[in-house]
Structures are given as structure tokens and as C-alpha cells.
Amino acid sequence: MKISFAPQRPAGAYALAIPVWADDMLNDRLQSIAEPARSLVARAAEAQRFEREAGAVAETFIEDGDQVRRLLLVGLGSNRDEQAVFERAGGALTARLLTSGETRLVVDLTGLGLGDDAAARLAFGAAARAWRYDPYRTKLAKKQKPTLESVTLVGGGDGSEDSWGRRSALVDGLSFTRELVTEPANIIYPESFVERARARLEPLGCQIEVLDENQMAELKMGALIGVGQGSVRPPRLLAIRWNGGLAGAKPIVFVGKGITFDTGGISIKPAAGMESMKWDMGGAGAVAGTMVALASRKAKANVVGICVLAENMPDGNAQRPGDVVTSMSGQTIEVINTDAEGRLVLSDAMTWAQRQYRPDVLVDLATLTGAMIISLGHEYGGMFSNDDGLAGQLDSAGRATGDKLWRMPLGEPYDKLIESPIADMKNVGPREGGSITAAVFLQRFVEAGVKWAHLDIAGMVWSDKAAHLYDKGATGFGVALLDRFVADNFEH
């Protein structure tokens, strides 16, 4: 979608949107519309029970000169301090018009007294909500095809273009993540994920390093290799490096779980709904999209994104319940349940990342446990951390972007639940506290002095209902969160 900014409304055919705060006088906001069209708009809004809540839309058609124009009022709500209200309004407008037959939308912010950032936020909401992925839909009806091509923001301030630059990069990152998560597992598997990421990120200036199964064996990554050994698709570890900060400064490291399809292995999942396990690589997808966003806006920070990629399948060579594997760290793991594979691949990836880059800060993202969905539903990602300061920074970034996190506990009583009678640990604990025992498992692989956070985003990477920034399907959760986390805490 093309986004542009202008000082005044253009001529020609387009749909016109006027944002309205809850306490605005409607006549004041409609001053630019002549009677009797102004009264028609007010009556139409009342008939549609338009109460100006954030993201609500009232629509009518008016005579404007020699043409009929679609006019939309979009609510901004009553809380002028809410950071995400403009994204919500922009997304609501796109959702209403995307397949409406309109090709052009003009949003008139004149008279609201908003700064440059508000216009850019609204544009971001509009652009993010426009994302669709239709390459496999060969028989779309005409009314199902997107028509909206451009959005012009009027009266947003002279600096709107500059403010939009960063958010445009974020849209690129979100789009890449959603693409990866949406693709079926016969298209995106470890090797093809690597190649798609390479094609997208190397032109942006990122350095790419890839470990194959032979290199993993040399590094004694027994936990990662064990997960992938049941598939004809060999595992890969992809490291994406962006050097935008001070030369020689330690990078921030993000590690994403990338199980490109998860049958559960020998501990096989039920058939119903298994097709959704193509998005079990949502953590790796978010890391790859974050790197696109950071590199696209030339972030002034050193960041490494690691995507640990494998397919969990149940063939004759697959890992069995009861097997013991030795991780790269040297710690041994009794595999009680082969469907608890994410923590296994992450353990080796985290060890490699810490030894390779010596980071002070390590954040992992993973669609790790169904137990997290039971705990938090689809409203928050779970956050576990060994450092209060890091947890606070991530929480703040989540609240600012709408990628909300809720901190969960860690501690020795939970750690004891994964003790094994024959190995250093087992890969699952009891039914209760399942997300927490997964987190304390990962904590055993965090080296001394490293500030670490684990984000369990199992309930957040895919949605069965539309929201203001996405339609049903891949959400892109985590990209805006990590981009803001880097911007607020590591760029100067």
C-alpha cells in the first residue's frame, strides 16, 4: 500500500475519512463539508449508533461538488493518552475499505492539533491492516479482491514523512514475519526458510551465517539434532547479524524457535487441528521480521537474530520417549515427551549464541507451550526473566506497541520438577505449571552474567479472528515489541 502525506485535501475521486475524538463537537469537525451534506453525515452517524469509541466507523455517501463521495467518521475514543489509538483508527479504516471498490483513501486530520507522530501511527495502522497473502487463492471472487491502493494523510504536520520512515520499516518487518508464518510447511522448511531470509536480509546489509547438520554434529548439538532426526528435512541454525552500533560493542541477541512443522514426533499430536502447527516457527519468524525492520531503518545498534530451524516428524529414525541426549552445553536431557521439542532446540541455540557472541542480553521467543494459552489466553505473551530491569524494558515496549507481555514466576521449586533419575534433567515436568517448567528448563542454559528473558508467545502468533492490525491468520507478534525494545534501550 502506498502511503503519502499532504498539507491539504487533493482533488479527484477518493474516499474521505475524518477522525473524531469522543468530546469533539461534530459540527466543528465537519466544517469543511457544506450543508446539507453536513447534516446528512451527522444523522447517518446517529443512525449507526456511532459513539466515537476508538476504531468505530460510521459511513455515508455525500454530494461533494460534481461527484458523490464516500465519507467515513472514525472514532478516536476519549483517552488522548492512549498510545495505540491512531493505529487502531488507521486499521479500522483499512478493514472497512480494503475490498470495498475504493482505490484511494484520504484521512483529514486538520483541526485536531496532532503532531507528526500521530499521522505516522495512523498510517502504520492502515498499512499493517492491509497485509494479505493470496498466492494460493486462484479463484477469488471480484468482491474478495483488495482494491485499496493508497492512503493520504492530510494536516498531520511537516515531519510526518520522517516519522513514517521508521514505521514503514516496521511494516516491512511485520509483512515478512506474517509471510513466513502463513506459508505451508511444504514451502517453508528449514532450508527454504534460510534461503528466503537470505534473499530478504542480505540486500539490507545483514551478515548471514548458517550451520548445517554436519556442523551441528561437530559442535555436539545433540538436543537440536535429536529433534530433527525424524525428518527428511535437515535442521538449520540461521544467524542474522546487523552491525549498526559502535564497532566492537557486544550485540543484543534474539533467539527464535523455528519448528517449521510440529507433529509432536513419536509423542504425536491429535489429528484435529494439526495443520496449524505450520506456525510453530512463529518465534523464528518474529526474529527474522525484526531483523528486517532494524536493517531497513538502519538501527544504530548491534543485533544478532538467531533462528533455530527443524521439523519434528515421527519416522523410523525419530527420537523416542526415554532417549537421553547430550546438549552442546554438556548437560544431558532425558526426553520424556518428544512433543516438548522447542525447549530442546532452543537450549543448543542459546548455548551457541552465548559462546559465539558473548552477549550481555539474550531474549528468546517461542511458541513453546499450550499451557501458556491456558494461562493467558490470546491477550498476552508470557514473559520469564532473570533480571528485573530487562523485564521492565520489555514490558514497557510491549505496552507501547500493543504486543503485551505478562511476567510469570521462576524459582527453585519449579526447577526441581524437571529433575531426572538418570540424566541432568528431563524435558517436561508435571501437568501443572507447564509453561514455568519449560522456562526453568531454558534457564539452565543461561550462562553466568547474561541478562535473559524468555517470551512464550504460543497464544499470540496466530489469530482466529481479525483485529485492528491484522486479519485472521498470522499476527506478526513480537516484531514491533523487539523493534521498540531496541530503539528505547540500545540506540542513542
Last residue in a domain, options 102, 120, 155? 155
Residues 328-359 pLDDT 10s: 999 999 999 999 999 999 999 999 999 999 99
According to the model, what pLDDT value does residue 159 have? 67
- For residues 264 and 121, state if they share a domain: no
Q: Domain containing 361 — which CATH number?
A: 3.40.630.10
Question: pTM of the predicted model, to two decimals?
Answer: 0.96
Q: Which of 155, 181, 211 is the last residue of a domain?
A: 155
Eight-class DSSP state of 12: S
Same domain? 190 vs 295: yes
**How confident is the model at residue 160, as a pLDDT?**
75
Radius of gyration of the chain (CA): 24
What's the domain range around 8?
2-155
Query: Residue 160: inside a domain, yes or no?
Result: no
CATH number at residue 24: 3.40.220.10
Helix axes 116-129, 160-182, angle to 10 degrees: 20
Each residue of 265-295: pLDDT tens digit?
999 999 999 999 999 999 999 999 999 999 9
Same domain, 187 and 235: yes
Last residue in a domain, options 155, 184, 211: 155
Q: For residues 16 and 64, give the distance between their C-alpha atoms in angstroms, rounded to a whole number.
A: 11
Q: Which helix (DSSP H) or strand (DSSP E) does residue 105 occupy?
A: strand 104-108
Do 147 and 179 have their domain in common? no
Same structural domain, 367 and 434: yes
| In a shared domain, residues 32 and 179 | no
Q: By C-alpha distance, which of 381, 360, 361 is closest to 439?
A: 381
* Same-domain status, 198 and 73: no
Query: Hey, which residues are catalytic here?
Result: 269, 343
Residues of the chain with confidence (pLDDT) below 70: 158-159
pLDDT for 158 equals 67
